[in-house]
Copies of this chain bind each other. A is one copy, B any other.
Amino acid sequence: MGKRKEKITSNIGWSTPDKICVRGLDLPNEILGHMNLGDLAFLQLTGRKATPEESRVFNAIIITLVEHGITPSALAARMTYMGAPESLQAAVAAGLCGLGTVFVGSMEGASKMLYEALPQDKLGTGVDLDALAVETVEKFRARKAIVPGLGHPVHKPVDPRTPRLFQIAAENGKSGEYVALIQKIQGVAEAKSGKMLPINATGAIGAICCEFGFPWKIVRGFGVMARAIGLVGHILEESENPISYELWQRAEQEILETSGPGAK
User: What is the interface of chain A, defined by CB distance below 8 A to chain B?
Assistant: 1-5, 7-22, 27-29, 31-33, 35-41, 44-45, 55-56, 59-60, 62-64, 66-67, 69-73, 75-77, 79-104, 154-156, 158, 160-161, 163-165, 167-168, 217-218, 220-222, 224-226, 228-237, 239, 241-249, 251-252, 254-261
A136 to chain B minimum Cβ distance, whole angstroms, is 24
In the bound complex, what is the Cα–Cα distance between A22 and B44 (angstroms)?
27
A97 contacts B91, C-beta separation under 8 Å:
yes
**Residue numbers in B under 8 Å from A9 (CB-CB):** 241, 243, 255, 258-259
**Residue numbers in B under 8 Å from A2 (CB-CB):** 82, 242-246
Quick one: which of A88, A230, A244 has the most chain B CB within 10 A? A88
A44 contacts B233, C-beta separation under 8 Å:
yes
Q: List 27 A-B contacts (CB under 8 A).
A: A4-B246, A8-B246, A9-B255, A19-B160, A28-B163, A32-B60, A32-B165, A33-B168, A35-B63, A37-B229, A41-B66, A41-B229, A45-B236, A69-B255, A72-B248, A75-B248, A75-B251, A76-B76, A81-B98, A83-B99, A84-B89, A84-B100, A84-B101, A88-B220, A90-B100, A218-B236, A225-B231
Shortest beta-carbon contacts, A-B, top 7: A84-B100, A2-B245, A83-B98, A228-B228, A37-B38, A36-B36, A28-B164
A203 to chain B minimum Cβ distance, whole angstroms, is 15
Select which of B70, B165, B241, B255 is within 8 A of A252 by beta carbon.
Answer: B70
In the bound complex, what is the Cα–Cα distance between A94 and B80 (angstroms)?
8
**Contacts A82-B102, A85-B100 supplied; 19 other A-B pairs, CB < 8 Å:** A1-B245, A7-B254, A9-B258, A10-B241, A12-B234, A15-B155, A32-B161, A33-B56, A75-B251, A84-B99, A88-B221, A89-B90, A90-B93, A91-B98, A92-B93, A92-B96, A217-B236, A228-B229, A247-B247
> Contacts A2-B242, A92-B224: A79 and B82 contacting too (C-beta < 8 A)?
no
In the bound complex, what is the Cα–Cα distance between A236 and B101 (angstroms)?
18
